[in-house]
């Protein structure tokens, strides 16, 4: 493969001059520059990013640590959306992305910092990490620039992007309350997720705001999966048939609840109102279409990348970026009889 040395030899100049010519420095004659560029094209030269990075001390790549990059991550397209957002912004800024594998056991034995340092990524975006993941404290302790998705960690070199999960949940409850619902239950995710805590808080705040009673036994975890949510919703609905509305911490779980309702012969939304969270693609395609709190996940990725580059270049001391969310009223909510 052609190197800068080859060009130098052919052009009869030093490698220094070739380097400076190709990188647009001013102290090289216009003619020599032309000649060098010409030769570079002829012998199909392309610079070796490895060698460059080695001396420049930056790679123009940012690492991606994503936990949900597994087969069933396809249903909720959140991971994908965030990824495209990141990709979009990074692409426009000339950064490439490298995907780290956290799924395989092979990689798990390497620490977070090792992963990043080996590849010498300039920064990292972390997605889908749980509160109790050992990686998390390592992220905080290491000095690698990093932004988390939906995990509030702040630092000299780490920030995060999220949405206002308590406000989002309150929107859901207000909507339900306006429709006259009183007996409202909640299917939450699991305790290892930051958003679960927030969404529960929003649920409770919304309930007291509306003057409604909170039945703590009506708040159950659905593990963020359709199947588990279906199961717990089923039991919930048999045990407490007076429930007329369920707020779910994710759309996928809302789909599970719909299924449970169907099995019990409860019609949605006539007998049971449901509101989800996320606005995944499925939400608007399913029948009846799901009322939900929409998050602009693409934008979350986009802003995460933006924030990371700002931390990287120290152009800004901002460390957190909050994205709007929005209630989308569709067909799974109806006035309470």
Partner DNA sequence: GAGAAATTCCGAAACGTTTCGGATATATTT
Partner DNA sequence: AAATATATCCGAAACGTTTCGGAATTTCTC
Min dist CB 100 to its own copies, Å, is 7
Q: Are 17 and 8 in contact (CB under 8 A)?
A: yes
Min dist CB 209 to its own copies, Å, is 34
- Residue 247, beta-bridge partner list: 186, 275
DSSP 281-336: HHHHHSSSPPEEEEE-HHHHHHHHHHHHHHHHHT-----EEEE-EEEE--SS----
Q: For 293-321, give one letter per residue: b (16+ CB within 10 A) or e.
A: bbbbbbbbbbbbbbbbbbbbeeeeeebeb
Number of other CB atoms surrounding residue 249 within 10 Å = 31
Q: CA quadruple 207, 188, 102, 96: dihedral positive or negative? A: negative
Q: Closer to DNA at the Cβ: 35 or 328?
A: 35
Q: Closer to its own copies at the Cβ: 104 or 216?
A: 104
Q: Closer to DNA at the Cβ: 14 or 107?
A: 14
Binding letters toward DNA, positions 234-273, x by CB under 7 A: ----------------------------------------
Q: Closer to its own copies at the Cβ: 49 or 238?
A: 49
Min dist CB 56 to its own copies, Å, is 10
State the binding partner of 101 from DNA, its own copies, none, CB within 5 to 8 A by kind: its own copies
Interacting positions 45-84 with DNA (CB under 7 A): 45, 47-48, 51-52, 54-56
Residues interacting with its own copies, by CB under 8 A?
1, 44, 46-51, 53-54, 59, 61, 69-71, 73-75, 77, 79-81, 83-84, 87-88, 90-92, 94, 96-101, 103-104, 106-107, 113-114, 117-120, 255, 281-282, 285-287, 298
Distance CA 127, CA 122 (A): 17
Q: Determine the number of helices (DSSP H) and then strands (DSSP E) in the chain.
A: 14, 12
Q: Closer to its own copies at the Cβ: 57 or 337?
A: 57
Distance CA 294, CA 277 (A): 6
State the binding partner of 73 from its own copies, DNA, none, CB within 5 to 8 A by kind: its own copies
Min dist CB 289 to its own copies, Å, is 10
User: What letter does residue 183 receive in the DSSP assignment?
Assistant: S
State the binding partner of 5 from its own copies, DNA, none, CB within 5 to 8 A by kind: DNA
Rounded CA Rg of the chain: 26
Binding letters toward DNA, positions 13-32, x by CB under 7 A: xxxxx-xx-xx--xxxxx-x
Task: Please count the residues of this chain forming the interface with DNA, following the rule CB under 7 A.
Answer: 28
DSSP 38-90: HHHHHTT----HHHHHHHHS--SEEEEEES--SGGGGTSTHHHHHHHHHHHHH
Q: Which two tokens stand for residue 158?
A: 């780490």
Min dist CB 63 to DNA, Å, is 18
State the binding partner of 286 from its own copies, DNA, none, CB within 5 to 8 A by kind: its own copies
> Which residues sit at the interface with DNA, rule CB under 7 A?
1, 3-5, 12-17, 19-20, 22-23, 26-30, 32, 45, 47-48, 51-52, 54-56
């Amino acid at each position: 493969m052609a190197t800068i040395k080859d060009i130098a030899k052919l052009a009869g100049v030093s490698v220094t001059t070739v380097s400076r010519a190709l990188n647009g420095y001013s102290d090289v004659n216009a003619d020599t520059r032309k000649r060098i560029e010409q030769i570079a094209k002829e012998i199909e030269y392309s610079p070796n990013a490895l060698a460059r990075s080695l001396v420049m001390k930056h790679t123009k790549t940012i690492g991606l640590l994503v936990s949900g990059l597994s087969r069933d991550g396809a249903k909720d397209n959140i991971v994908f959306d965030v990824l495209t957002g990141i990709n979009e912004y990074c692409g426009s800024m000339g950064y490439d992305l490298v995907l780290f594998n956290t799924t395989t056991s092979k990689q798990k034995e390497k620490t977070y910092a090792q992963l990043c340092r080996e590849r010498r990524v300039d920064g990292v975006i972390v997605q889908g990490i749980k509160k109790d993941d050992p990686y998390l404290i390592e992220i905080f302790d290491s000095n690698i620039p990093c932004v988390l998705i939906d995990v509030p960690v702040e630092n000299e070199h780490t920030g995060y992007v999220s949405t206002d999960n308590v406000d989002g949940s309150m929107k859901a409850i207000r909507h339900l309350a306006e429709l006259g619902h009183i007996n409202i239950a909640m299917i939450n995710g699991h305790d290892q997720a930051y958003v679960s805590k927030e969404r529960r808080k929003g649920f409770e705040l919304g309930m007291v705001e509306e003057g409604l009673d909170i039945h703590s036994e009506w708040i159950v975890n659905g593990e963020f999966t359709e199947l588990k949510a279906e199961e717990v919703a089923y039991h919930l609905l048999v045990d407490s048939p007076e429930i007329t509305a369920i707020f779910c911490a994710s759309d996928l779980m809302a789909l599970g609840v719909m299924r449970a309702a169907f099995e019990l012969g409860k019609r949605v939304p006539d007998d049971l109102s449901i509101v989800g969270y996320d606005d995944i693609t499925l939400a608007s395609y399913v029948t009846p279409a799901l009322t939900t709190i929409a998050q602009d996940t693409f934008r979350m990725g986009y802003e995460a990348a933006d924030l990371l580059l700002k931390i990287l270049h120290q152009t800004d001391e901002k460390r957190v970026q909050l994205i709007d969310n929005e209630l989308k009223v569709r067909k799974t909510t109806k006035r309470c009889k």
